[in-house]
Structure 1
Amino acid sequence: MNILQPKVFFYLFCLVQLELYAQPKIERWARFEAEWTYASGGNLFREVQLSARFVGPDTTFTVAGFYDGNNHFKVRCMPTQTGTWTYTTSSNKKELNNKKGSFECVNATGNNRGPVKVSDVHHFKYSDGTRYYPLGTTAYAWTHMGQGLQEQTLRSLQNSGFNKIRMCVFPKNYELVKEEPELYPFAVREVKKDEKGNVLNVWDFTQFNPAFFQHLEKRIDDLNRLGIEADLILFHPYDKGRWGFDAMPHEVNVQYIKYLTARLASFRNVWWSLANEWDYVKSKTVADWDALTQAVVESDPYRHLCSIHGSTATYYDYWKPAFTHASIQDDAPVRHSGGVSTLRNVYHKPIILDEVGYEGNLKSRWGRYSPEEMTHLAWVGVMAGTYVTHGESYMFKDASDTIFWAKGGPFKGTSWKRFAFLRKILEEAPSPLSMSDVSRDYRTSSAGEGYYFVYFGNEVNDSWVFNLPAKNGEGPKLTAGRRFKIDIIDTWDMTVQAVPTVFETGPETDYRLFDKDLKKVRLPLRPYMALRIKEIK
């Protein structure tokens, strides 16, 4: 008996050590989740308060927990630093209070570059420092369509080159989007019929429907695997009394925000868009929008990107600190680069023209842009150091068509391919673009010292005399004796052709430097041509 005791002690000691050191390993910017069960006869959404304090290397987050149905409660964390993290829960229920645990945060791998953040005032980077250029698209209600169509949407996105998608949390009731969703965000209190015999759900706004949010989470994770940011639109006006989600009481809106952020703030590819066309939501004032925006910011410990979108040429006060960037519906600024570059100077934040119009064939003027025009506006935007979102709205039969702008599905247009080409051009440049000589030269942009773009838009030219502005944005001025090579970019045919000639700048003349021998570049007689001009070191 005495001989066996040390062995038993050693065995138990090993078990204890294994339990202490076998911590879960979570990648940096991935999602850690802890779960417990608690049951009672009451409304667990209202009855239980749960939060957790996560402590990591030089970082502490306090996150809200949430009820996920079937007596399950969860807390989630997105660790931002490698090393050991510990957590302790707080709750008004003893069964959920003072729960403790830990995990090890390890280096990110593969395509995990972390959340997108603002960089260099007007641009974006992933958290690991990689440049991010938002070349995105729009599919407002794609997660509310049938499962087959949702899978088709993901297949389309996988082959598209888009790295952002604008999408609504709530379903959409619009002339071109009439499908009834399978899931709703709230529990149904009772079912009634109106005077015409239509079935109406009466919602219990005190109880969320976890299945609705679980499905949304699945689709956000699907997008993450494709490298796509989910620009979530939290409210919109396209309800018109069908469900009533556009006219909920303010306290319900706040509870919805808190529940949504508790579930989704730990998803690294989430952006918050408070509304689409906020000014058309007649039940809310500017003060309401400010309060709801503040609720989002206060509920998100990781400070994901956040903005709000208005109707055409309706601008919010984007300089408010709650907004990380401006999300704008207006095509006027991108009719030439000088217009949209002015917005940068006004807001001193990244500018995303999230709706300039859509490629399509609709009767509405906003939905009948040619693919060439859609592509052109995107190039005008990036030349000014801003960004333009793609959209596609083709209808060949009737409103039951899978119009991508509304429902997702397959792409039927052609500009989407050109957005992927533009993204590749941008990612090959050493830095984001900005106008070289803002308000004076609407054609020339810089991507760092010795790296320029010239975009001719819809002009048709047979040649171009080499000349660049002396100014180079915020960089050092161009001087004489610098040698350059040029690529001709066909933005529509998506080709790049090297020019064999070497060009050299002569002396400055009236703020510009021409080739010292006035050499020219022979151009194709086609619109939408651009030049990429790189210095030879």
Structure 2
Amino acid sequence: MPTFHARSNIADVVSQDDAREVVRGFLPEVLASPLATADASFPLAAILELIAPGDPRNEQLLDALSKIEDRAPRLPIGEPIVPPADYEADTVQRGSAPVVVPDSAQLRRMAEIEITGPRHGNPFVDVDLTAIFSLEDQELRVGGFYDGDGRYLVRFLPPRAGRWSFLTTSNARSLDGIGGLVDIADGDAHGAVHADGMHFSYDDGTPFVPLGTTAYAWTHQDRELQEATLAALGKTSFNKLRMGLFPKHFLYNENEPERFVFPRDANGFDTTRFDLEFFRSLEERIVQLDELGIQADLILFHPYDNWGFAKMGAVADDRYVAYVARRLAAYPNVWWSLANEYDLLLTKDDADWDRIAGVVRENDPYNHPLSIHNWVAIWDYSSPWASHASIQFGELLGSKVREWRRAWNKPVVIDECGYEGNIDQGWGFLSGEEETHRMWSIAMGGGYGTHGETYYDAGDTIFWAKGGSLRGESPARIAFLGSIIAASPTGRLDPLPSDFDAAYAGVAGEYVLIYFGAGQPAFRTVTVPDGVRAHIDVIDAWNMTVERVPGVHEGKVRVDLPGRPYTAIRIVADSAVSTDG
């Protein structure tokens, strides 16, 4: 008998008469909260702490509710569809399907092998196709997928130049045992991004410094708005974009998309098939982002759902994730986010997320970045499948990033630190100065921040939701921050021992930033390390200026400052780097 627990949906609790009376007896103020309305979907324990933080009645209430049956309807689990061994008759010759191999392909760019095969039944689930690519001592197992009209694709992202051989396996006889060769020429593509210690690098070793932004449902808007989004992004330095595969139903984002991941008819969505026009449009946008130098951080699940995608059940979830990974993993600029605000997806627990991560890893042979994003409960990123931390957090960012780096020894990305804008929500009415300050604080802690913009628009075209144009003041300042990071000898920042009133970061002895945040000192005495002669710059993070202090300096130096917030001092060893800011 299932009973209520800490992650039960508070709406299920208050809508059930016996549980509601228990709540009334312990914490009647819960029933007056808008977070406990019938259409809410929030975890019980988290909401109790928001309504009555630290109140001992919270634990008493949870204990009492744990003895009451949760009679909310349960999702049907269903059974996985196993591709049948007899999908094609024994009379069909093995490996007889026509295959098209590209005449030429380049290192770290997608190569696509097309096979024309059977189309009876439902090939999305009735046919499994894989190919083993081999070059000398290296092998990659790449899953194929059905692309409609008897067309099967295997997409390969070659990690090395040379002549690769491939051999297919399939339960469909005509697709089984097809072999061939793909010649991969050298090229100048950077390739995919991977975690590299506390930071990120491309396949070719070039450092990648994420300067991200957010447009959750931009690919679910009309083409004109999508084109406007790309044009806006092309004028910025943003190089990572958080975006969802499923549409979003939330504030300022309640329009019905034209197409979805799954086809829909009068009976609803068919989760055993995929809408190919949706995917082709999505792929066009992923390619266009790549041309702009932008990583597509693809969110697989989220709780802001009006169509049932957040509650499909494990079988449909895994089928969807496997298809998406097989179809999109060969695009070099793809990242995976299991979920936005995973702890609000109340039909999934930690074991479900571990399982889904395993599906991604099994079907992505290129090991793209993979993480999961929180609402309140921060994930334990020691999970072996997590390449980096992807966190929602808005306070004490510099110190928290340092703490999390030590805890997980992985890159830390604050993918939601609050949004510059003026809507009627606390997370969405930050000033440009505050947004810029938070991005600097994250960088000074050795982490990476993600921007968002939420300026009100009467037509609900808000960039954070739908894309369109950017109106805020922080994007230019974030680009300036990127130039300061890029000027480091390593192209990155690591935290350094700091003062109580200022954060230090950079490369010890070579490139040191001292950031004062909202403080506004008129001067500061700094110490150049023993044996080092250094240039000193005064940086204004808001006005985007770098002013050199005359001379080359040693020992203790008094540096005059403008007495404004958001200033920094940069100490650069004489031979370390050019200082054009």
- 1:489 shift after superposition: 1.2
**In structure 1, which of residues 464, 479, 482 is the aligned counterpart of residue 524 of structure 2?**
464
Using the TM superposition, give the Cα deviation of residue 461 of structure 1 relative to its aligned residue in structure 2, in angstroms. 1.7
Q: CA deviation at 1:439?
A: 8.1
For 1:309 and 1:183, how far apart are their aligned partners in 2? 25
Distance 1:227 1:448, change over 3 A: farther
Q: What is the aligned residue count? A: 474
Which of 383, 391, 402 lines up with 1:341 in the alignment? 402
Contact 1:359 1:393 in 2 (8 A): yes
Instruction: Give 1:77's match in structure 2, choosing from 156, 175, 194.
Output: 156
Question: Residue 501 of structure 1: CA displacement?
Answer: 3.0
Answer yes or no: is 1:408 the counterpart of 2:467.
Answer: yes
Partners of 2:359 and 2:128 in 1: CA distance: 17
Per the TM alignment, residue 526 of structure 1 is displaced from its structure 2 partner at its CA by 1.4
- 1:394 is the counterpart of 2:394: no
| Structure 1 match to 2:194 | 117
Residue in structure 2 matched with residue 10 of structure 1 by the alignment: none
Q: Which has the higher strand share?
A: 1
CA distance 1:390–1:370, shift in 2 (3 Å): same
- The answer as to 2:292 corresponding to 1:229 is no
Q: 2:119 & 2:513 partners in 1: Cα distance?
A: 65
Whether contact under 8 Å (1:125, 1:131) holds in the other structure is: yes
Unmatched runs of 5 consecutive residues or more in structure 2: 1-100, 576-581
1:85-234 aligned at under 5 Å gives the runs 85-109=164-188, 112-119=189-196, 121-188=197-264, 190-191=265-266, 202-234=268-300
Aligned equivalents of 1:144 and 1:83: distance in 2? 39
Residue 76 of structure 1 deviates from its aligned partner by 0.8
CA distance in 2, matches of 1:333, 1:263: 40
SS in 1 for 2:413: strand
Give the Cα–Cα distance (whole angstroms) in 1 for the partners of residues 183 and 141 of structure 2: 18
Shift of 1:536: 1.7
Judged with a 3 Å threshold, the aligned counterparts in structure 2 of structure 1 residues 485 and 294 are, in CA distance, closer, same or farther, namely: same
Residues 454 and 463 of structure 2 are in contact (CA less than 8 Å); yes or no, is this contact kept in structure 1?
Answer: yes
Instruction: Give SS of 2:177's match.
Output: coil
Distance in 1 (alpha carbons) for counterparts of 2:470 and 2:409: 35
Residue 206 of structure 1, CA deviation: 1.2
Asked whether the 8 Å contact 1:163–1:229 carries over to 2, the reply is yes
TM-superposed CA distance for 1:96, in Å, is 1.5
Paired amino acid for 1:81: R
Report the counterpart of residue 450 of structure 1 in structure 2.
Answer: 510
Look up the match of 2:323. Answer: 259
In structure 2, distance between residues paired with 1:85 and 1:23: 12
Give deviations 1:75-94, integer Å, cap 9, x for gaps.
11100011111111111222
**8 A Cα contact 2:102 2:113, kept in partner:** no
Q: Structure 1: 5+ residue runs without aligned partners? A: 1-21, 192-200, 469-477, 506-514
| SS, match of residue 253 in structure 2 | coil
User: Cα distance 1:346–1:442, how it changes in 2: closer, same or farther (>3 A)?
Assistant: farther
For residue 246 of structure 1, give the secondary structure of its aligned residue in structure 2. helix
Cα distance in structure 1, aligned partners of 2:246 and 2:320: 11
Is the contact made by 1:57 and 1:81 (CA closer than 8 Å) also made in structure 2?
Answer: no
Which residue of structure 2 lines up, in the alignment, with residue 521 of structure 1? 559
Compute the displacement of 1:419 (Å): 1.0
Corresponding residue for 2:435? 374
Query: Which letter maps to 1:466?
Result: V
Using the size of structure 1 for normalisation, the TM-score is: 0.86
Alignment map for 1:445-524 (pairs within 5 Å): 445-467=505-527, 478=529, 480-505=530-555, 515=556, 519-524=557-562
Match of 2:481 in 1: 422
Give the equivalent residue in structure 2 for 1:330: 393
What is the CA distance between 1:488 and its match in structure 2?
Answer: 1.3
Structure 1 residue aligned with 2:86: none
Distance 2:166 2:508 in 1: 44
Q: How does 1:288-327 map to 2 (within 5 A)?
A: 288-312=352-376, 314-327=377-390
Q: Does 1:535 align with 2:570?
A: no
Q: Is the 8 A contact 1:435 1:441 kept in 2?
A: no
Residue identity (%): 43
| Contact 1:464/1:521 (8 A) holds in 2 | yes
Preserved contact between residue 509 and residue 532 of structure 2 (Cα < 8 Å): no
C-alpha distance in structure 2 between counterparts of 1:481 and 1:56, whole Å: 50
Q: Does 1:362 align with 2:423?
A: yes
Map of 1:196 onto structure 2: none
